[in-house]
Amino acid sequence: MVLLWGSLVTAALGQTERPNVLFIVVDDLNTHVSTSGYAPIYTPAFDRLAAEGMTFDRAYCQYPVCNSSRTSFLYGLYPQSTGVISNRDDIDKTRPGTVSLPQRFKQSGYWTASTGKIFHNESLNPGSWAWHQSKQFQNDELPMVTPIRKEFERRHAGLSRSELQRRWREFYPRIANQTKGQKPGYGPTGLPDAGHRDGKNARQVVSWLEDREFGDKPFFIAMGMHKPHGPFLAPQAYFDLYPRAELQFEPAVKGFWDTVPSSAMTRRYVGFDFEFESENDALRRAYIQAYHACISFADAQIGKVLEALQHGGYWDNTIVVLISDHGYHLGDHFMWGKVTLFEICNRVPMIIRAPGISTPARNSAGLVELVDLFPTLAELCRVEAPAHLQGSSLVPMLRDATAPGKEAVYTIVARGQQYGKAVRTARWRYARWPDGEELYDLENDIRELHNLASDADHHATLVMMRGHLARLDAMAGSEVARR
């Protein structure tokens, strides 16, 4: 069947050469984009891509933390099988010899390159094993910081370089909201787009395309957008799109956490300077404005790359994948950040444009997972898929927007040495924690405010969802069992 689909893909693309791939990963992006039905946002690049490709309305990450999620979809394995369940873990140590998505494409004759955050950080980047070129950038110095730094250096001129750097690192977060780092910092930078690392990432991809660095080979270019990951920094123009007084959001509901296992929550709200079950409207607006500004900024950089694809003559022979690694809380349930199993944390934007395969401007309501990307791209590009892959190819769904997705999708997160585990079906989300269970009817309770796990009227549904979890739990660890 794989060979048959491969021949159909080739015929649909109308060519004998293999297609190029542009693989875009946006960091910490929840469903606050226009293509996910969120109206109060400006994301024209997302809109443009959706108009020519397929939007997967129900796409889910496998672990709502950067390294664990990225390792999962870049290696095509569920987190239990990668052994990567934190930002500190390294698959080269937990599962040595496993072939990644870009490595397989490089082995198969593709020219591969990455810029920005694809793997979690440079120490986890497989380097020349996966890439012909790999580039990383940083923001330029903020204009507000330059005179302060120069004065700091003048006043501490007698210190050794290492001591000066140590003191500067300690002092820097106290300069302004923008310099707080992941505490988190937020605000306009005073820099142009090109002064930000994401602006540099996009311009690097444009340069590769214009200079034809790949020669006669098909290319696999991965571009990682760091924003809207904290600190929430962007040029002023993007903040101007979202006046704080006009922002719309639902206040969190007090008393909700009396009905939910305590291990379902995190305390990240403390780092954002919020008190539990206490609304701080002004501060929440400041953060949401900054987060939205970062989304529109990242979208603008993506737009530049899409323009370069078209102007360079690559548009008709390039598959474009646009995803986030996981979602993000912005005060709902009084939570901030990630590392929970709520919809806003697990559901991600996903758009795939496969020329000749996907029908323009179509949406799929089928349930899919990020772990499905590796087998999908392997099939579309006639690259031999590694035997270890645990996901399912989305090619049938790309060809037919009404094709069913998975019966259920699966996400986990660690709590110490134990896990919270969630399954999502078309209607229900169920989670099992070390100290209890959750069950939500997402057709009638999209904000997940009413935990039905102890409701006798929903016992049959609870049993059904427990069965889905048991089945997916066994499958997710199947690679571990075989090793």
Task: Give DSSP secondary structure letters for 332-362.
Answer: GGG-EES-S-SHHHHEE-EEEE-TTTSPTTE
In a domain, 375, yes or no: yes
| d(C-alpha 103, C-alpha 25), whole Å | 17
- Domain shared by 216 and 364, yes or no: yes
Q: For residue 377, what is the enclosing H or E element?
A: helix 373-380
Query: CA nearest 34: which of 427, 232, 299, 307?
Result: 299
At 11 the pLDDT is 42
Domain that holds residue 178: 141-189
- Domain shared by 91 and 182, yes or no: no
Q: For residue 60, what is the enclosing H or E element?
A: strand 54-60
In a domain, 309, yes or no: yes
At 17 the pLDDT is 87
Buried-state track 68-80, b at ≥16 Cβ within 10 A, e below 16:
bbbbbbbbbbbbb
| d(C-alpha 81, C-alpha 182), whole Å | 30
| d(C-alpha 324, C-alpha 127), whole Å | 22
- Domain shared by 155 and 244, yes or no: no
Residue by residue, pLDDT tens for the chain (483 residues) are 333 334 444 444 444 589 999 999 999 999 999 999 999 999 999 999 999 999 999 999 999 999 999 999 999 999 999 999 999 999 999 999 999 999 999 999 999 999 999 999 998 999 999 999 999 999 999 999 999 999 999 999 999 999 999 999 999 999 999 999 999 999 999 999 999 999 999 999 999 999 999 999 999 999 999 999 999 999 999 999 999 999 999 999 999 999 999 999 999 999 999 999 999 999 999 999 999 999 999 999 999 999 999 999 999 999 999 999 999 999 999 999 999 999 999 999 999 999 999 999 999 999 999 999 999 999 999 999 999 999 999 999 999 999 999 999 999 999 999 999 999 999 999 999 999 999 999 999 999 999 999 999 999 999 999 999 999 999 998 766 555
- Domain shared by 115 and 249, yes or no: yes
| Strand 20-26 to 347-348 pairing | unpaired
| d(C-alpha 269, C-alpha 44), whole Å | 31
Could you tell me the CATH number of the domain that includes residue 275? 3.40.720.10
At 300 the pLDDT is 98
User: Do residues 359 and 397 touch, judged by C-beta distance below 8 A?
Assistant: no
User: Do residues 462 and 437 touch, judged by C-beta distance below 8 A?
Assistant: yes
In a domain, 221, yes or no: yes
In a domain, 472, yes or no: no
At 477 the pLDDT is 87
In a domain, 434, yes or no: no
| d(C-alpha 49, C-alpha 305), whole Å | 11
- Domain shared by 290 and 342, yes or no: yes
| d(C-alpha 187, C-alpha 231), whole Å | 9
- Domain shared by 316 and 176, yes or no: no
- Domain shared by 309 and 256, yes or no: yes
At 296 the pLDDT is 98
| d(C-alpha 56, C-alpha 182), whole Å | 30
Question: Where is the domain boundary, 338, 372, 407?
Answer: 407
At 16 the pLDDT is 57
- Domain shared by 284 and 155, yes or no: no
- Domain shared by 132 and 178, yes or no: no
Length in residues, the chain? 483
- Domain shared by 182 and 199, yes or no: no
- Domain shared by 147 and 74, yes or no: no
- Domain shared by 67 and 167, yes or no: no
Query: How many domains does one find in the chain?
Result: 2
Q: For residue 366, what is the enclosing H or E element?
A: strand 362-369
3-state secondary structure of 98: coil
DSSP letter assigned to residue 52 = H
At 270 the pLDDT is 96
In a domain, 419, yes or no: no
In a domain, 469, yes or no: no
3-state secondary structure of 149: helix
In a domain, 415, yes or no: no
User: Do residues 78 and 379 touch, judged by C-beta distance below 8 A?
Assistant: no
The amino acid sitting at 155 is R
